[in-house]
Amino acid sequence: MPIDLSILTLSYPGTVRKYLPRLVENLDAQIGDSAGVEVLGLVDNLRMSVGCKWNVLVAAARGKYIAVIGDDDLPADDYVSSLVEAIEQHDGVDCIVFDSAMYRDGEFIATVKWGLEHEYRDDWDNKLLWRYPGELMAIRADIRKKHPYPDKWRGSDMVQARKMRQDLETQHRIDKALYHYYSRSDNDTHIKKQRQRNRRKHQVGEFLLNPEAINA
């Protein structure tokens, strides 16, 4: 059966036990027995740049569309079903866009409106942000694969989004928040300390949901 949607995520030693099981359980419950959705994850000890890790996952993805989820974020309960329905009804559009809700230390801070018609704009007084489609959106796989992430620890997502922009011309909008983005005030310090502590040999692990759907 063809795969409609590939969902990609990364994790690290400092977050894999705390956050990743929650995300996997959430997605597994949403996917159920569907063979049309795959989840690909990569866990390493911070020896590869973020951009390189995303490229590994994008290269392995087999879905018509590719979306990305942070391991410490959560999708809405209807994230998978909404994206699959949109792909079935609007197959061929360059991207499927939706809103995302932002939280800082557990407190809601803003809604992000993604779309081809939007430029980078903030209205913090009304808790609204506007963004051009980036990695969180469901992007057609051939466009994703055409524009690899740069080998960078920070900002690789923004660079890749700018590169994809030249090929994004059509979209379908799902007018609700399907993604919940969580940031923590201690996150930057935690990652820096983890990277400094980690001097072990590079190790990479992978997990798959519905692995039978992606066997060669």
Range of the domain at 163: 5-91+138-170+186-214
Domain count, the chain: 1
In the prediction, which pLDDT does 44 show? 83
Instruction: Give a yes or no: residue 72 inside a domain.
Output: yes
144 within a domain of the structure (yes/no): yes
Is the residue at 132 inside a domain?
A: no
- Please tell me the predicted confidence (pLDDT) of residue 208: 44
pTM for this structure?
0.83
Q: Is residue 179 part of a domain?
A: no
Q: Is residue 123 part of a domain?
A: no
Q: What is the block-wise mean pLDDT of the chain (216 residues), using blocks of 10 residues?
A: 91 84 93 89 86 93 96 94 96 96 94 94 96 93 92 85 91 97 67 44 41 38
Q: Is 124 part of any domain?
A: no
Give residue 212's identity as a one-letter amino acid code: E
Assess if residue 158 is contained within a domain: yes
Q: What is the pLDDT of residue 197?
A: 46
Is 117 among the domain residues? no
The pLDDT tens digits for 24-37 are 999 999 998 877 99
